[in-house]
Amino acid sequence: MIIDAKMEKALNGQIRAELESAYLYLSMASWFDANDLPGCAHWMKKQAAEEQEHAMKIYEYVVARGGHVILEAIAAPRNEWKNATEIFQQTLEHEQKVTALIYELVEKAMEMKDYATRGMLSWFVQEQVEEEEHAMEILAKFKKLGEIPISLAMLDKELGDRS
Ligand code: FEO
């Protein structure tokens, strides 16, 4: 069944949101690179790459349903932060916003009886649990250890190990 125009528009909006996430995380990576935290920069680059994969998952789904992917404008992301803790606080809040967007899409799919889209979104519902969990864990470590040189060096090394 060809995708409904309203759902196509909503999914195009989510493609934008995922690419906007990639842009934000790449900006955070750039801040870490500029502030001598290469491990944190590595983690954020991986995160940005994952967001692009999320966008492409939806892109391919829209195409598979006979829809047309229309790319929307993305605003310039924030580029200054006080410290790493503030960055991971924003990361968590950003992921919570994305989770809310995914839930809205799920509700829309249910209202429209678009079971294929509902099924496709299940992966995203689970992915958001992990995304929030990872951001919470990292934020908790930064808060617990504080941003003194020795703990920053330790956390930077740990985040640099993300595969
Ligand atoms: Fe694609 Fe981090 O949500």
pLDDT in tens, 39-95: 999 999 999 999 999 999 999 999 999 999 999 999 999 999 999 999 999 999 999
Mean pLDDT of the region 20-37 = 98
d(CA 25, CA 17): 12
The reply to whether ligand 1 has any atom less than 6 angstroms from the CB of 156 is no
Specify the pTM: 0.96
Closest protein CA for atom 1 of ligand 1: 51
Q: Is 54 annotated as a binding residue?
A: yes
Residues in the chain: 163
Residue 159 and residue 138 in contact, taking contact as beta carbons nearer than 8 Å: yes
Q: Cα angle vertex 126, ends 121, 131, to 5°?
A: 115
Condensed to tens digits (0 to 9), the pLDDT of residues 96-110 reads 999 999 999 999 999
Classify domain 5-160 at the CATH topology level: Ferritin (1.20.1260)
Atom of ligand 1 nearest to the CA of 94: 2
Span from the CA of 9 to the centroid of ligand 1 (angstroms): 19
The reply to whether ligand 1 has any atom less than 6 angstroms from the CB of 21 is yes
Mean pLDDT of the region 24-46 = 98
Atom of ligand 1 nearest to the CA of 54: 1
DSSP three-state, residue 76: coil
- Position 29 confidence tier, pLDDT thresholds 50, 70, 90: very high
Q: Cα angle vertex 21, ends 143, 133, to 5°?
A: 40
Q: How many CB atoms lie within 10 A of CB 30?
A: 16
Residue 67 and residue 11 in contact, taking contact as beta carbons nearer than 8 Å: yes
pLDDT at position 141? 97
CA-CA distances (angstroms) from residue 96 to 92, 102, 127, 147?
Answer: 6, 10, 12, 24
Condensed to tens digits (0 to 9), the pLDDT of residues 107-160 reads 999 999 999 999 999 999 999 999 999 999 999 999 999 999 999 999 999 999
The reply to whether ligand 1 has any atom less than 6 angstroms from the CB of 95 is yes
Domain ranges of the chain: 5-160
- What stretches of 65-83 show up as alpha helix (H) in DSSP? none
Q: Cα angle vertex 76, ends 71, 78, to 5°?
A: 135
Both tokens assigned to 28: 């955070």
Residue 138 and residue 88 in contact, taking contact as beta carbons nearer than 8 Å: yes
DSSP three-state, residue 112: coil
pLDDT at position 157? 97
pLDDT at position 85? 98
pLDDT at position 79? 98
Q: Is 127 annotated as a binding residue?
A: no
